Amino acid sequence: MKKTTLLSRFWLMGVLAASLSACHTDDSKTVQPTDNEAAFTRLLVSDAETGDLTLVNPAKQTTEKFSAPFGSNALYPTASGRFSAVVNRANNQVRFFDSGIVDHGDHADVKGTPKWAALTLEASLPTHVYVWGNRIVVFNDGEGSLSLTTEDELHTAGAKAKVIKVDVPHHGAVVPFSNGTFAVTKKDNSVAGTLPQGVKIVDENGVVVNESTIAVTSIHGDVGNGEVALFGTTSGILSVNKDGSQQLIKYPADFGTGWLGSIVYDQSSKTFYGFGAALGVYRIDLITNTLTPLLKTDQLHAFKVSNDGDVFAMLTNGTLKGFSASGSALRDLKVVDAIAADAKVKPDFSITKRYVYVTDPVKNQIIPVLRSSFSAKPAISVPGKPYRIVVIGAQQDKRGED
């Protein structure tokens, strides 16, 4: 059966909506236009220079400001989308921001107002955040430890995260498995620098279940699906199964000394992708142990997959490139000026079911790009210099009963 492309699906939806509108006689019921953002979708934007956070309601084009103790915060939405982890590595702190919106799949509930959650994590150099289900784990570089908590504990007064020591201090990462164990990076002192050289598996108390069996020079970038964890390394993609077995997927010969330092997983298509600034984006096939290019470029700035798995977006040198899930290219769109290699603050973007939102730190604004036509809409001004942007809340239009 031939798969319909993303643009075709939206064209068919538009035709159907127009047809229904033309023949419907009840004016009290209207079809939601596809170019309106969902009513309960929110964007959280951190500032590069101050502790300000801006909560954006894109459907209403309104903003609300909140304050954190420090600037240049990294943002990571929780699996439910209700919260975002607000990570300040330099100041050893992770806080959690509550959108006040709960997604129930077919509607949203409003739980109070947007606010900071009660729980704060404090550890040396918290860097890597991984979320799954209602669980949250943070790898703390400065002490080689994991901080473990759940969304249920974020508003519990006096709650503290469980902290377990897993290795010596290093720039590390963690990927959880479905059996309750964790793949964590391991630092080998035979190699200088902060990057690790292997991956071992530990339990929730930090006890080693399976030792590292493959050593490389450096590791950066990781993701998993509960059964297997993938890590970007200088020698190839390191695949670690939850039973402890490991294998290395070699890079193509034309990579030279280049390597893929970031990896993402598309839950919808069950597909892994690796990418690097000077190489582009590659699909990782764990059956054939091969890498297939999705886009070759030496100017890749960022690559992200939408939560619904229908579209991939890549930001190169100021240009946003879109691809449907089938790999068909959508339009290219120049969204920001050329990105200087030495720029202190570079654009970021995030994807909803209807839009791609790109930050412009030079003009202090967010550019909404409609997915169905890949066209830019009027920019949303934000105070300060936008640093990171994530989608939180619920991508729903209907509100349920609280």
Q: Which helix (H) or strand (E) holds 363?
A: none
Per-domain residue ranges of the chain:
6-20+33-393
Alpha-carbon gap, residue 80 to 83, rounded angstroms: 7
The SS3 assignment for 401 reads coil
Per-residue pLDDT at 329: 78
Per-residue pLDDT at 314: 95
Per-residue pLDDT at 331: 87
Per-residue pLDDT at 34: 63
- Which CATH number applies to 6-20+33-393: 3.40.50.1220, 3.30.70.1350, 3.40.50.300, 2.140.10.20? 2.140.10.20
Beta pairing class for 311-315 and 174-176: unpaired
Distances (CA, A) of 28 to 21, 24, 25, 37, 59: 12, 10, 9, 20, 20
Per-residue pLDDT at 116: 97
Per-residue pLDDT at 340: 87
Per-residue pLDDT at 8: 33
Residues in the chain: 402
How many CA atoms are closer than 13 Å to the CA of 130, on its beta-carbon side?
A: 25
Q: Which helix (H) or strand (E) holds 316?
A: none
Taking residue 328's Cβ as centre, other Cβ atoms within 10 Å add up to 13
Alpha-carbon gap, residue 146 to 60, rounded angstroms: 39
Strand partners, 52: 67
Query: Over the chain (402 residues), what is each successive 10-residue block's mean pLDDT?
Result: 34 33 38 77 97 96 95 96 98 98 94 96 97 97 98 95 98 98 94 96 98 97 97 98 98 96 92 95 95 93 87 92 80 92 92 96 96 93 96 94 55
What letter represents residue 370's amino acid? L
Per-residue pLDDT at 191: 92
Alpha-carbon gap, residue 246 to 216, rounded angstroms: 12
